[in-house]
Every structure is written in C-alpha cells, then in structure tokens.
Amino acid sequence: MTTLAFLGLGAMGDPMAAHVTRHARQGGHRAQVWNRTASRAHAHAQAHGSEVASLEQAAQADVIFTCLPTSAQVDEVLTVMEAHLKAGAVWVDCTSGHPQAAAAQGQRLAARGVTLLDAPVSGGTGGAQAGTLTVMVGGPADALEAVRPHLAFAGKVVHVGQGGAGFAVKAVNNALLGAALWATGEGLAVLSRVGVDLHAALDVINASSGRSNASQNLIGQRVLTREFPATFALGLLAKDAGIAADLTGSVQGSAPLLAQTAALLRAAEHLIGADEDHTAALKLIEQMNRTELN
Ligand code: NDP
C-alpha cells in the first residue's frame, strides 16, 4: 500500500489534498494530512476521510506533498522530518518556491535517499477545487513518472527541466500575471480620469489586442465589483515576482519590466496589505491617480 501525505491545508492545499485523498481511497492507498493549525487537519479528515498525521509520521510516507507559503516554511518542516524520512520516497513540493531553495533541499533529501520534485501549480483556488491545476515540474523525469498517477489535483502536468525549473517557470508566470494586472490597472485609471466608463472600456479591451487574464477575468470580477475576494494573497504574488527578479540576477540577465513589477507589487504589499487579495494591488494605482476603478 502506498502512503500519500499532504502537508499544508491552506487555500490551495486543502482542496488539493481532498483530490489526493479521494484518489487514495479509490486506489487502495493511504492518505495522511498535516497542518500547522491542527484543527484544519481534523476538519479535513472528517470531511474527506484522510488520516491526521504528525510530521514524524508523515515523514514515513512514500509520496510527500507540501503546499506552504514559501520555501522557508518547507525548510522548517523538512528540518523536523529529515531524520524520519524513508529512502525511496518522493517529495513533491507544490509551494511556489525558490529555485535556490530547491537545490539545497534536493541535496538534503538526496542524503536520505529521497527525491525532490519542485511542482508548483497554477489555476487558483477554483482550479484546485475542480482538480484542473496546471503543474510545472522540475527534477528527475523518472520520479515524476512514478508519482504522476497520484497528482489527482492536476489537469495538465508538464516536466519543464531539472530541479528548480518548476519554481523558475512559476515565478516568471506570476511575474507576467503581475505585470499584466498592474499595466491594465494603470490603463484603466487613465481612462477613468478621462471619464470613460470602465465596463465599456474592458468590453472593448477584451475583444481587442490588449486583453489578458487580468482584463478578461480578474479586474471585471474582483476590482470593478469592489469585492477583492482574498483567494490569492498580494504578499504571495509579490513573493513570486521577487523570485523572478532574483532569478534574473542569478543569471546576470536584464529584465527591467519584471524588476519593476516586483518592486511595485512589494510597494502595494506594504501599503495595501500582504493578506489582501492580489487584485487589491490596484488600490495603490487608484491612490496614485486619485480615482476609483468601478
Ligand atoms: P494559504 O496562506 O492559504 O495557506 C498557507 C498554508 O501554509 C496553511 O496551511 C498554513 O497553515 C501553512 N503555514 C503557514 N506558515 C507555516 C509554517 N511556518 N509552518 C508550517 N505551515 C505553515 O496559502 P495558499 O494555499 O494560497 O498558497 C500556498 C502556496 O501555493 C503558495 O506558495 C502560493 O504562492 C501558491 N499558490 C497559491 C495560489 C492561490 O490562488 N491561492 C495559486 C497558485 C499557487 P495554518 O493553517 O496553520 O495557517
């Protein structure tokens, strides 16, 4: 029997772990969950039939999933689990982590006979609930093939390269999300000052070449409605754009637009709030332009 352990039952991890648990129950495997705030793990067990485990117990699993805010929290749980790990296991880190952390963690795990896959996800909480997430995987291809049947939360799985490549692709993807979101917010703020109706403007942009996920989904659903539902924290998007900026530095690259995006999102995180939804970054643009996007 294969034991699958899922650590971190947050906005993404909780529904992802539900899919892993359903898959485990159907396939005759064992599904364990752990969460820092234990009540969430108990609620998960009650709702989905998973088993609550300690970190030491979860360390004995054959496949360990993590979905934590940053690589720093993955380091913390790894430190507790390290001595208890089982050789031959695969650790699938679904955190949007840092490529440098993946290198160091991969070495620590290799010393225990455990293989690390960096496997961040895209698709938001809706995709996690639907089990249609895109997973970008870095690390050994044979380890991915071994765990692929257990990626029950995925709609699309792409092997993007060696260790750290998954985190790199995720960071760049989210820097692009941030850039499109920010630029569209600026454009709409200007149009608002001009006196154009923003619903009409978005209608046009969404049928024209300036459209993006930000214009087609995020701004209409979250900003113009003034709802800003907190499903993906601004602090996490700022973290991702910061990783893309770090990555640029690590290869002595030149990506000034991505660097600006990281700096603007960091400013919005400080001024608007890390726990606000990422679309609330546009409240800073509103302040800069003395207008409201509604
Ligand atoms: P949440 O803030 O909703 O959940 C974070 C989880 O990490 C919780 O289970 C929390 O436990 C746990 N945690 C926090 N600090 C620690 C710690 N020091 N030690 C152990 N556990 C800790 O985050 P999300 O689920 O939104 O995001 C998780 C990852 O997925 C991030 O890397 C994010 O960038 C990425 N992501 C998020 C998306 C989204 O739409 N939200 C989309 C795609 C990727 P506790 O319950 O105790 O607080």
Pocket test of ligand 1: the residue of 37, 40, 68 to mutate, having most ligand atoms within 8 Å of its CB, is 68
Q: In angstroms, rounded to a whole number, what is the distance separating the alpha carbons of residues 239 and 243? A: 6
Are both 18 and 125 inside the same structural domain?
A: yes
Pocket test of ligand 1: the residue of 6, 34, 67 to mutate, having most ligand atoms within 8 Å of its CB, is 67
pLDDT of res. 240:
98
pLDDT of res. 47:
98
Number of domains present in the structure of the chain: 2
Q: Is residue 50 part of a domain?
A: yes
Please, which residues bridge with residue 63 across strands? 4, 90
pLDDT of res. 127:
98
Pocket test of ligand 1: the residue of 12, 40, 279 to mutate, having most ligand atoms within 8 Å of its CB, is 12
DSSP states of 79-148 as a string? Answer: HHHGGGPPTT-EEEE-S---HHHHHHHHHHHHTTT-EEEE--EESHHHHHHHT-EEEEEES-HHHHHHHG
Are both 180 and 100 inside the same structural domain?
A: no
Percent of all residues in the chain with a pLDDT value above 70, rounded to a whole number? 100
- Mark which of 120, 143, 161 sits at the end of a domain: 161
Are both 128 and 42 inside the same structural domain?
A: yes
Q: What is the CATH number of the domain that holds 245?
A: 1.10.1040.10
How far, in Å, from the CA of 74 to the mean position of ligand 1? 11
Q: Atom 7 (ligand 1): residue with closest C-alpha?
A: 68
Overall average pLDDT of the 43-71 stretch: 98
- Mark which of 118, 140, 161 sits at the end of a domain: 161
| Containing structural domain, residue 83 | 3-161
Are both 142 and 221 inside the same structural domain?
A: no
Q: In angstroms, rounded to a whole number, what is the distance separating the alpha carbons of residues 265 and 238? A: 5
Q: In angstroms, rounded to a whole number, what is the distance separating the alpha carbons of residues 91 and 70? A: 16
- Mark which of 126, 161, 196 sits at the end of a domain: 161
Are both 139 and 53 inside the same structural domain?
A: yes
How far, in Å, from the CA of 99 to the mean position of ligand 1? 18
Q: Is residue 73 part of a domain?
A: yes
CB 34 within 8 A of CB 5: yes
Residue 293: band (very low, low, confident or very high) from pLDDT cuts 50, 70, 90: very high
Are both 127 and 176 inside the same structural domain?
A: no
pLDDT by residue (tens digit) across 218-235?
Answer: 999 999 999 999 999 999
Q: Is residue 41 part of a domain?
A: yes
CB 201 within 8 A of CB 271: no
ipTM for this model: 0.99
Residues assigned a catalytic role? 170
Are both 153 and 202 inside the same structural domain?
A: no
pLDDT of res. 238:
98
pLDDT of res. 93:
99
Q: Is residue 294 part of a domain?
A: no
Residue 274: band (very low, low, confident or very high) from pLDDT cuts 50, 70, 90: very high
pLDDT of res. 233:
98
Q: Which of 125, 95, 106 is nearest to 18 (CA)?
A: 125
Q: Is residue 132 part of a domain?
A: yes
DSSP 162: S
Which ligand 1 atom minimizes the distance to the CA of 8? 9
Are both 174 and 116 inside the same structural domain?
A: no
Residue 49: band (very low, low, confident or very high) from pLDDT cuts 50, 70, 90: very high
Please, which residues bridge with residue 93 across strands? 66, 118
Q: What is the CATH number of the domain that holds 70?
A: 3.40.50.720
Q: Is residue 214 part of a domain?
A: yes
Residue 42: band (very low, low, confident or very high) from pLDDT cuts 50, 70, 90: very high
Are both 87 and 145 inside the same structural domain?
A: yes
pLDDT by residue (tens digit) across 70-111?
Answer: 999 999 999 999 999 999 999 999 999 999 999 999 999 999
Which ligand 1 atom minimizes the distance to the CA of 95? 32
pLDDT of res. 288:
98
pLDDT by residue (tens digit) across 121-144?
Answer: 999 999 999 999 999 999 999 999
Q: Atom 18 (ligand 1): residue with closest C-alpha?
A: 73
Taken in order 30, 33, 34, 38, is the CA torsion positive or negative?
negative
Give how far the C-alpha of residue 14 lies from the chain's centroid of Cα atoms, to the nearest Å: 13
CB 45 within 8 A of CB 51: yes
139, 140, 141, 147 alpha-carbon torsion, rounded to 10°: -80
Are both 20 and 150 inside the same structural domain?
A: yes
pLDDT of res. 150:
98
pLDDT of res. 139:
98
Overall average pLDDT of the 203-216 stretch: 98
pLDDT by residue (tens digit) across 177-202?
Answer: 999 999 999 999 999 999 999 999 99
Which ligand 1 atom minimizes the distance to the CA of 133? 43
Taken in order 236, 237, 243, 249, is the CA torsion positive or negative?
negative
DSSP states of 9-30 as a string? Answer: -STTHHHHHHHHHHHHHHHT-E
Please, which residues bridge with residue 65 across strands? 6, 92
Are both 264 and 194 inside the same structural domain?
A: yes
Percent of all residues in the chain with a pLDDT value above 90, rounded to a whole number? 100
pLDDT of res. 92:
99
Are both 246 and 268 inside the same structural domain?
A: yes
Q: Is residue 82 part of a domain?
A: yes
